[in-house]
A = this chain, B = another copy of it.
């Protein structure tokens, strides 16, 4: 393969080994950003990212734990899909809507009123590459594993519905800052929004197309 060089690419040494340490980590991050931007989350491979960085693919697992976590690290937001799934999935299935909304709010609130997340959401609406990357990441790493475990049917439709409510909540609360939702306490938002997420995941979507 011939990876096109980018300004973010670290100097490459074919088959060479780095001394390791922060150097390797930074090199992998830069290589990952370039690879994700070029091929999207789905098309990117750990092997190619390692090759771009001039390190062994095992270094990706060593430093980041895998492709998902590496992608999250390039986004620079506090969002580890495995951690989130472990917090959201266990427990009463009828309460998963509540757990999802609460976790979602905490991710944003931790980032300081949206912070890095709001920046990401803005970039998503203006850059097609960012939109594609986030769409694939949210779908494959966050939504699908949850939806497939709890939803009875129509997984991708339910996933998209959940995404529509959550992204709209983020837009209103953190980007447009529409009151009173912008300043509403976490519990109040959870109570109001959770039943929607719960219905999208496990309830009746009332459609003319009962199975897709």
Contacts and interface: CB of A to CB of B under 8 A. Distances in A.
Number of copies of this kind of chain in the complex: 2
A206 interface: yes
A195 interface: yes
Given A163-B172, A164-B169, A188-B207, A157 B178 contact: no
Contacts of A124: 175-176
Interface stretch (A49-57, A85-93, A179-187): A179-187
A130 to B, nearest CB: 10
A164 B165 contact: yes
Given A125-B122, A178-B135, A181-B157, A187 B208 contact: yes
A126 interface: yes
Contacts of A205: 191-192
Q: Which of A164, A175, A178, A209 has the most CB of B within 10 A?
A: A164
Interface string A155-174: 01100110111111101110
Interface string A95-128: 0000000000000000000000000011011100
B191 A208 contact: yes
A193 interface: yes
A84 interface: no
Nearest to A154: B180
A164 B104 CA distance: 14
Interface of A: 121-122, 124-126, 131, 134-135, 139, 156-157, 160-161, 163-169, 171-173, 175-181, 184, 187-188, 191-193, 195-196, 199-200, 205-209, 212
25 contacts: A124-B175, A125-B126, A135-B177, A156-B180, A157-B180, A160-B179, A161-B181, A161-B192, A161-B193, A163-B168, A164-B165, A164-B168, A164-B169, A164-B173, A164-B181, A164-B193, A165-B168, A167-B171, A167-B176, A180-B212, A187-B208, A188-B207, A191-B206, A191-B207, A192-B200
